[in-house]
Amino acid sequence: MTTTDETLTQYVVLIYEHQTPNWPDDMPPEVMAANETFDDWIAEQGGRVVAGVGLQASDTATAVRNGVVTDGPFIETKEALAGLYVLEARDLDHALAIARMTPVADGGVEVRPLLGLQLGEPG
């Protein structure tokens, strides 16, 4: 694990959204706008975003289970995984204080400690 600061712990914030048929096109503009400034806000709180990932709608997903390919996400849920970011924070309370401000349209987040992170070389 490569933390910039030894007193910080890395978490993954998983973003779950109740996805509408035209997701992500009909994601509300205010949520999009809030996402633009969110990293800066996190930095002001003493945290840091190491990496961020946004996902296409869950109906574009393909699952492979025991070698069998099926249409759709691995687990069907009312709220689908819509994105995630790797966050460095002091402790769980700090991480939760930041994660709870994550811009979401209609859903919520899950915070989990990170086991490992490997980023590919820029190609």
Partner 1 sequence: MTDVERAVADAHRGEWAAVLAATVRVTRDLDTAEEAVQDAYVRALQAWRRDGVPARPGAWLTTVARRTALNLLRRRRTFEAKLPLLLGPEETGPGATATDGDGGAAIPDDRLRLVFTCCHPALAPEAQVALTLRLVCGVATRDIARAFLVAEPTMAARLTRAKKKIAAARIPYVVPPAAELPARVDAALTVVHLLYSTGHTAPAGDDLVRRELCERALDLAQVLRRLLPDHPEVAGLHALLLVHEARRRTRTDTAGRLVRLEDQDRSAWDRDLIAEADGMVVTALRAGPPGRFTLQAAIASLHAQAPTYESTDWAQILALYDELGRVWSSPVVALNRAVAVAMVHGPEAALPEVERLEGGGRLAGYHYLPATKADLLHRVGRDADAADAYRAALALCDNAAEREYLAERARSVDPAG
Residue among 92, 100, 110, 117 that touches partner 1 (CB under 8 A): 92
Interaction with partner 1 in 96-115: which residues (CB under 8 A)?
96, 111-113
As a residue count, the chain comes to 123
SS3 labels along 3-23: CCCCCCEEEEEEEEECCCCCC
Residue 3 and residue 103 in contact, taking contact as beta carbons nearer than 8 Å: no
Identify which of residues 5 and 59 has a Cβ nearer to partner 1 in the complex.
Answer: 5
7 part of the interface to partner 1, by CB under 8 A: yes
Q: Alpha-carbon dihedral of residues 71, 74, 77, 83, nearest 10 degrees?
A: -100
Interaction with partner 1 in 32-91: which residues (CB under 8 A)?
90-91
Q: Which positions touch partner 1 (CB under 8 A)?
A: 7, 9, 11, 90-94, 96, 111-113
